[in-house]
Structure 1
């Protein structure tokens, strides 16, 4: 504030395109997202803590209006009050006074009842519910539908996943989710449980804040490490402390999915001190809904033995505050590794095809590339990844999951992660699984 206020001009607000925060002074900033969307943010410090408060997009509030709002907020801070907490209290008070009330979860149930005859089949109904239960309810499920705003919908759609934000990494799913949230809130409005515009509406609302799905939908694989860079990345990972880093390390050694790692419990680990250590993932935790056996390499066994078992938790990799780790916890490890590389002037851990920073799920693609380069049979590598292999008839006749041959393959993969040469792999003929 010492350098004055009103630094930005209306022209600058309109023409700024580089992502970042541009100070107008007095705590007011123009925020330009990596997608090119623009909004106002008020930053302030209170109680030794710096906070940022969203004021809304530029198409809703002009520069003059944003300055006026910032001026009022500066007075609030000067009086020792936190405007963010006051806004929360006002929203909570308004929600408490509103009648009747309904949580988002309750609204979902009501909408499903109303839409019963619209679903093509039970599978469609389950898919409709699944996206809401998985992505929306953990964020806004317990909120009163009357209090849900556009910013809350953005929190749902831009939550962290393995491949980045939900809107970036699972664009089609996120787009369907948005439409379903809109339908739930529309039903709640008609029923009298909320009023005003639908915060999940796309046209004239979220369209101004998020990139078009068609512009970012990724039809290819998640960003993956190049096989040649795997040992250096693995060594850097091992230097990091924390349970999330160990979860990523175990994910790399087993080529498993993030959700399978995060939900792993000690009862799924077998023969850890024996000749055939194994991780058996029950069908209900698998994408294909079939039990999956993972042979554990000596390196994976060593890691599990070093992981402390937390009293009162069955999870192998529990969150600090209990329960399972989040998607954000694992993706955050790789994001911080990338940021550390960039700070040193290096390019970091980039996908050789897309040039995007590698993500946890991309490690499975790295494993698949390595297996192909080393001559391992396609079906065996696909089984290791828990992919569905062959037709239904072929699967019915295939009794073996080639667990011991996969054990040798995973030991060689672990050696590659450590930077050891594994050039003595025998070329296996196709169809031998």
Structure 2
């Protein structure tokens, strides 16, 4: 039946009946078996000659006049040799992509990657810190589908200028893993990271940096000038005097003390085995007293939360330390200090033990390394006395470096064999 489609006419329709509008050719209304009335536009695709159907909406959510206006628009597109159904599909596909893009920013992907892959890793805090300090502020709000290689290169160049090429490559490795993880479960995503983006060569990434005597004095002098965080000076000194890795010291807890021993659990050591460090006077002096406001009888030694949580503000505090060191050297007319990392203190401690004539095997044990060969069976309580003497020798040499004799000749004291 061909009439002007109106509400009155639509309400009279029985299931299966259809009305054709006499004003707009192709505009129809039909009552479905479900009882709902659907508005549509029938037309013939001029490029293929096939008849097509374009749904305009259901009666109730759209009025007959609104449906007629949509039909007129579609008729105009057909007259211009366009296919309104194909354009609607393209529009829906674009809307779907926009929704997908909005739901998959770099921040969203990193959040999911951390939850699925990073949480629980020994190095998890370092990975999260790399994302928080270097990735999220730069590309976090971007959609992963809009990322370009140039975005990654720009980010890496900024990190290199700010924190050095080694840090840039470390961040690149973490982001590459996160993007590869996303590609496994996302058909639409292709990582923009390709070979050749690294800022250093493999040989350059194998660090050999140790601090010279004057650099040790500069770092210690700068630590005395840093006011916040209060625990940071003690923490940094522990990395040299105990030759620990960053998180080994950062998560030092009084529950790990057994008399005059500090037992670093295997879950926090690189070789997955407990590492025992004698609490020499120098190391014990860094522990300090129970922090004010601490709730309980045990606490994290290096903390900004009254012992409740371990210290974690590494990047911000290191920048402040570098700033003060640069200020000291500039005031004295000396060249800027070569770029260095906290881990270099561990390597420096090992070098100083050699200067103090500490037996090489004992020095390696002080670092938590397992000596192979016939002694590869691990006993965390072995060689405690030798390790104690080695750490005391290290502390004695550091003290001489910080306070050299008047003739500037450093004597080696407290050597351990």
TM range, smaller chain: 0.5 to 0.7
Q: For 2:262, what is the secondary structure of its paired residue?
A: strand
**Greater relative contact order (Cα 8 A, min sep 6): structure 1 or 2?**
1
The structure-2 alpha-carbon separation of the partners of 1:363 and 1:258, relative to structure 1 and needing over 3 Å to count, comes to same
How far is 1:268 from its partner? Answer: 1.5
The structure-2 alpha-carbon separation of the partners of 1:232 and 1:158, relative to structure 1 and needing over 3 Å to count, comes to same
The structure-2 alpha-carbon separation of the partners of 1:258 and 1:396, relative to structure 1 and needing over 3 Å to count, comes to same
The structure-2 alpha-carbon separation of the partners of 1:257 and 1:106, relative to structure 1 and needing over 3 Å to count, comes to closer
- RMSD over aligned CA atoms reads 4.7
Distance of 2:381 and 2:413 partners within structure 1 = 25
- Give the corresponding residue for 1:414: 395
How far is 1:422 from its partner? Answer: 5.4
Distance of 1:129 and 1:239 partners within structure 2 = 31
- Give the corresponding residue for 2:224: 238
- Give the corresponding residue for 1:41: none
Distance of 1:128 and 1:398 partners within structure 2 = 25
Q: Where does the alignment leave 5 or more consecutive residues of structure 1 unmatched?
A: 1-93, 113-125, 272-276, 351-355, 429-433
- Give the corresponding residue for 1:264: 252
Q: Where does the alignment leave 5 or more consecutive residues of structure 2 unmatched?
A: 1-94, 404-409
Distance of 1:265 and 1:403 partners within structure 2 = 20
Aligned length, in residue pairs: 297
Greater shift, 317-326 or 150-159, is seen at: 150-159
Q: Does 1:401 align with 2:388?
A: no
Distance of 2:123 and 2:345 partners within structure 1 = 29
Match of 2:109 among 104, 127, 144: 104
Distance of 1:146 and 1:398 partners within structure 2 = 51
- Give the corresponding residue for 2:242: 254
- Give the corresponding residue for 1:55: none
How far is 1:98 from its partner? Answer: 1.9
Checking the alignment, whether the CA contact within 8 Å between 1:389 and 1:395 is kept in structure 2 is: yes
How far is 1:291 from its partner? Answer: 0.5
How far is 1:367 from its partner? Answer: 1.4
Q: Deviations over 1:104-134 (max 9, x none)?
A: 157649999xxxxxxxxxxxxx999999777
How far is 1:387 from its partner? Answer: 2.2
Checking the alignment, whether the CA contact within 8 Å between 1:231 and 1:416 is kept in structure 2 is: no
Q: Does 1:218 align with 2:205?
A: yes
Map of 1:104-123 to 2, 5 A cutoff? 104=109, 108=113
Match of 1:318 among 300, 303, 306: 303
Q: Deviations over 1:52-73 (max 9, x none)?
A: xxxxxxxxxxxxxxxxxxxxxx
Q: For 1:359, what is the secondary structure of its paired residue?
A: coil
Distance of 1:230 and 1:129 partners within structure 2 = 29
TM-score of the pair, normalised by structure 1: 0.54
- Give the corresponding residue for 2:314: 327
Map of 1:23-422 to 2, 5 A cutoff? 98-99=99-100, 101=103, 103-104=108-109, 108=113, 135-136=130-131, 146=143, 149=147, 165=163, 167-169=165-167, 171=169, 173-187=170-184, 190-191=187-188, 198=191, 200-202=192-194, 212-214=199-201, 217-221=204-208, 223-227=209-213, 229-231=215-217, 233-241=219-227, 242-271=230-259, 277-306=260-289, 308=291, 311=294, 314-319=299-304, 323-329=310-316, 331-347=318-334, 350=337, 356-391=338-373, 393-396=374-377, 400-419=381-400
The structure-2 alpha-carbon separation of the partners of 1:366 and 1:280, relative to structure 1 and needing over 3 Å to count, comes to same
Checking the alignment, whether the CA contact within 8 Å between 1:253 and 1:410 is kept in structure 2 is: yes
Q: Deviations over 1:41-87 (max 9, x none)?
A: xxxxxxxxxxxxxxxxxxxxxxxxxxxxxxxxxxxxxxxxxxxxxxx
Checking the alignment, whether the CA contact within 8 Å between 1:159 and 1:166 is kept in structure 2 is: no
How far is 1:285 from its partner? Answer: 0.6
Q: Deviations over 1:216-257 (max 9, x none)?
A: 942232x32114653454344334332222211222221211
Distance of 1:266 and 1:342 partners within structure 2 = 37
How far is 1:289 from its partner? Answer: 0.6
Checking the alignment, whether the CA contact within 8 Å between 2:353 and 2:393 is kept in structure 1 is: no
TM-score of the pair, normalised by structure 2: 0.56
Q: For 2:283, what is the secondary structure of its paired residue?
A: helix
